[in-house]
Amino acid sequence: MILYGLKSILILSVLAIAYKLLLETETMHRFKRVYLLASVLLAVVGPLLSFPVTVQSDFIPPTPLPASVVARIEPTRITLPADTAPSPPTDHSPDLWLLVYGAVTAVLLVRLVRNLVSIACRIRQHPAVRHAEATVILLPVATRPHTFLHYLFVGQADYEKQAVEPELFTHELTHIRQQHSVDILFAELISCFYWFNPALFFVRRAIRLNHEFLADQSVNTRHQNIIRYQQLLLSKLTPTKTVFLTSAFTFQTAKQRLIMMTKCTSPLRAGFTVGTAAILFMLLTLAAGLRSIAQVTKSASNKSTSTVTKAKAPSDSMTLEQRYSDKLVITWLANNKNNLKRRVMKRFSDLSEAEKKKVVFIPPQAAKTPTDEQFEDWKNPKRFGIWLDNKHIKNSDLNKYKPSDIASFWGSYVHKNARQLQGYLYQFDLMTHKEYERYLREKTESPFLFVADRAPRPKAVWVEPK
């Protein structure tokens, strides 16, 4: 949740700064409308995107075991009592954040609903007149014209005396025709859930101001008298209270609107701005979707928690040579220039006698079936991330299987700095019988053999998570 929020803030902040520098003072009002709405949408959806990257890397073996020792190793399984099993420290801070987030969101949603109800009551309580492009609501008090959806609110006395200037009427009808209220409702609804994003307040204001630019542009295109329209706007500059969620003329935006009417954007600058914005959106989308790089080695998918099976390990180097003489073995050659070793592949039969004595055979993952209790625990998405036959699945998908369907499994603890958005504490790889048979065939045809040059650990231990 915190990572998602930080990404959302960063995306919208970058796009808001770019808008301020490149677009705010340009007359590309239709493109600016699309840009602002797309910015909000990317800030919401972008952190949820996922573009996993897989990188092949050379295998660096951890503390290898000599052939003479591998055969004697028996896998040891230790189950710790529930009261002594290690578990990550409990962190209650997310609960507090969720409580604060939920409380603020609820207040904002109530405020939004209350204002919608207030507008609906004004529509029902006052007479309405049908117009070609709008429904005119006649208010008993003098008020500046303002709109919401397809409703146009005007003072009844001004409407009956036809005292509403044609330019203002055209301005408000443009808000209705271009459905500016939909943009406002979208921005307000998003603000209820993403109130923690400070850039959203700037974008909301920019959306409303751009609506005024669009409506002014429509008035000047139709009436062809910019000076008269500017004088009309100046004559209306008396601070009044505006109605929430409606499109209305405001004192605060008057100066910017008057300046914008006299500006013009050249085609060259417009093309440059559109191209820059498109590249920026593409880069932010890719950056937001990148996930941690998966390191995949040529040693297949065996995990460090897998056990060693005595039946699969030959007892001496002669047996190894008889069984694997034509198989490739990983060994290392010294580099005289920098005294570092580089990895090479040799056939077993081409190794020296000294190297053959150091060959280590890593047997396949042992067959084992989970208990009913283990299988039920794996269905908890808060604790376990599940991969079945090398594919990430939902924990609920395990309901389609039973413990006896699993031929082998292994897992590991996910440290806090490596956890994904799901937040699970352990990740487990499961194999069905069909996949396990394929896995054993692959390990038989291409066994994992390497020349060890370090002393082994005496035991292979797996600690069962509780």
pLDDT per residue as tens digits for the range 183-237: 999 999 999 999 999 999 999 999 999 999 999 999 999 988 889 988 888 887 7
Burial (CB < 10 A; 0-12, 13-18, 19+), residue 332, is middle
| Tokens matching residue 270 | 């417009």
Question: Which residues are 346's β-sheet partners?
Answer: 329
Residue 245, pLDDT score? 60
Residue 107 to residue 136: CA distance in whole angstroms: 32
Q: Cα dihedral sign for 410, 308, 463, 368?
A: positive
Q: With a cut of 70, say whether residue 313 has pLDDT above it.
A: no
Could you report the per-residue pLDDT of 365-408, keeping only the tens digit for each?
888 899 998 899 899 888 888 999 989 899 999 999 999 999 99
Residue 52, pLDDT score? 65
Q: With a cut of 50, say whether residue 100 has pLDDT above it.
A: yes
Residue 302, pLDDT score? 40
Between 440 and 94, residue with greater pLDDT: 440
Range name among 125-139, 237-251, 416-430 with the lowest pLDDT average: 237-251
Between 86 and 35, residue with greater pLDDT: 35
Neighbours of 288 (CB within 10 A): 21
Type of residue at 132: A
Range name among 51-55, 102-106, 360-364 with the lowest pLDDT average: 51-55
Q: With a cut of 90, say whether residue 283 has pLDDT above it.
A: yes
Per DSSP, the three-state class of 330 is strand
Average pLDDT of the chain is 78
Residue 181 to residue 207: CA distance in whole angstroms: 11
Residue 72, pLDDT score? 37
Residue 181 CA: distances (Å) to CA of 185, 247, 272, 305, 416: 6, 7, 30, 58, 44
Range name among 64-73, 151-160, 382-391 with the lowest pLDDT average: 64-73
Pick the closest to residue 261 from 237, 287, 228, 236 (CA basis): 228
Span 262-277, average pLDDT: 91
For residue 139, name the pLDDT band (cuts at 50, 70, 90): very high
Q: What is the DSSP string of 82-136?
A: TTT---PPP--HHHHHHHHHHHHHHHHHHHHHHHHHHHHHHHHHS-EEE-SS-EE
Cα 411 from chain centroid?
26
Between 258 and 290, residue with greater pLDDT: 258
For residue 87, name the pLDDT band (cuts at 50, 70, 90): very low
Residue 188 to residue 186: CA distance in whole angstroms: 6
Q: With a cut of 90, say whether residue 176 has pLDDT above it.
A: yes
Residue 6 to residue 97: CA distance in whole angstroms: 14
Q: With a cut of 50, say whether residue 263 has pLDDT above it.
A: yes
For residue 41, name the pLDDT band (cuts at 50, 70, 90): very high
Span 129-136, average pLDDT: 88
CA dihedral 266, 270, 272, 274 (to 10 degrees): 180
Residue 355 to residue 358: CA distance in whole angstroms: 5
| β pairing state of 135-139 and 247-248 | unpaired
| Tokens matching residue 228 | 């008269």
Residue 390 to residue 368: CA distance in whole angstroms: 17
Range name among 10-14, 69-73, 192-196, 251-255 with the lowest pLDDT average: 69-73
Residue 453, pLDDT score? 65
Residue 352, pLDDT score? 80
